[in-house]
């Protein structure tokens, strides 16, 4: 696909002729004004469908290439990082903000992570999630890096991914307060960039061995992990 199309946040569809765009909706939390803009654009440009995505976005599907600039102008929204070698999305559950089962504030933490990392260039595609309890509605179990809330604090999980060679994430550290957890996530992101490996983090961990990975990552972490 042409670079200028990629830069427009457009995704070529199966018919090899039309495109989809997905405005960024951090954590899937939206409002009536944004929904109206998406609906108005879908109607104005004769979209084939509106699709709720697994990354908590709304994809407007079946758009003409020549209208992409006008579509983004009408949307007046940033593009979701749905493709490319970057942090794709930070999936967020309702957490203690909305859910009776929440143990930690996944909405606040997840939106802070979204602001810090969404679209950040990476050596490979990179997915993140924040779940407020062990039910893991944000599917941290298949994210490169993520947080799961517990009554005793955050659990940092690493190395998960879906796909043909799927892997479940593994606990790296537990019982962290919010600042400790965010600092460790930041360290993991920078560590992955520094090592510049081609492939998902879980593949890298498999190659190193989890114990060696844990020793190297936590050994180079300058923050506080508590007791």
The predicted pLDDT at position 51 comes to 97
What span, in angstroms and rounded, lies between the C-alpha atoms of 114 and 111? 5
Homologous superfamily assigned to 3-75: Sulfite Reductase Hemoprotein;Domain 2 (3.90.480.10)
* Res. 6 pLDDT band, cuts 50 70 90: low
Q: What is the DSSP string of 83-139?
A: SSSBEEEEEE--HHHH-TT-SS-HHHHHHHHHHHHTT-B-SS-EEEEEESSTT-TT-
Question: Looking at residues 133-147, what average pLDDT do you find?
Answer: 98
Kindly state the helix (H) or strand (E) to which residue 203 belongs, with its residue range: helix 201-208
The predicted pLDDT at position 197 comes to 83
C-alpha closest to that of 7 among 78, 59, 57, 90: 78
Q: How would you classify the pairing of strands 87-92 and 126-131?
A: parallel
* Average pLDDT value for the chain: 94
The predicted pLDDT at position 1 comes to 46
The predicted pLDDT at position 5 comes to 61
What span, in angstroms and rounded, lies between the C-alpha atoms of 91 and 143? 9
Q: For the domain 87-219, what is the CATH code? A: 3.30.413.10
* Res. 2 pLDDT band, cuts 50 70 90: low
Q: How would you classify the pairing of strands 145-150 and 170-176?
A: unpaired
* Res. 4 pLDDT band, cuts 50 70 90: low
* Helix, coil or strand: residue 163: coil
- The domain segmentation of the chain, as residue ranges, is 3-75, 87-219
The predicted pLDDT at position 8 comes to 67
* Region at 59 (left for phi over 0; alpha for psi -120 to 50; beta for the rest): beta
């Amino acid at each position: 696909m042409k670079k200028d199309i990629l830069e427009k946040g457009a995704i070529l569809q199966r018919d090899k002729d039309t495109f989809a765009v997905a405005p960024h909706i951090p954590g899937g939390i939206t409002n009536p004004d944004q929904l109206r803009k998406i609906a108005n654009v879908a109607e104005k440009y004769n979209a084939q469908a509106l699709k709720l995505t697994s990354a908590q976005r709304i994809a407007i599907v079946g758009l003409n290439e020549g209208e992409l600039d006008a579509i983004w102008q009408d949307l007046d929204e940033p593009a979701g990082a749905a493709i490319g070698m970057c942090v794709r999305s930070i999936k967020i559950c309702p957490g203690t903000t909305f859910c009776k089962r929440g143990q930690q504030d996944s909405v606040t933490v997840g939106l802070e992570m979204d602001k810090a990392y969404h679209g950040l260039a990476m050596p490979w595609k990179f997915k993140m999630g924040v779940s407020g309890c062990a039910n893991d509605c944000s599917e941290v179990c298949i994210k490169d890096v993520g947080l799961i809330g517990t009554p005793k604090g955050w659990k940092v999980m690493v190395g998960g991914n879906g796909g043909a060679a799927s892997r479940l994430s593994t606990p790296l550290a537990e019982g962290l307060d919010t600042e400790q957890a965010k600092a460790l996530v930041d360290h993991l992101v920078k560590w992955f960039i520094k090592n510049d490996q081609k492939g998902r983090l879980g593949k890298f961990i498999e190659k190193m061995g989890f114990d060696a990975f844990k020793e190297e990552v936590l050994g180079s972490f300058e923050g506080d992990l508590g007791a």
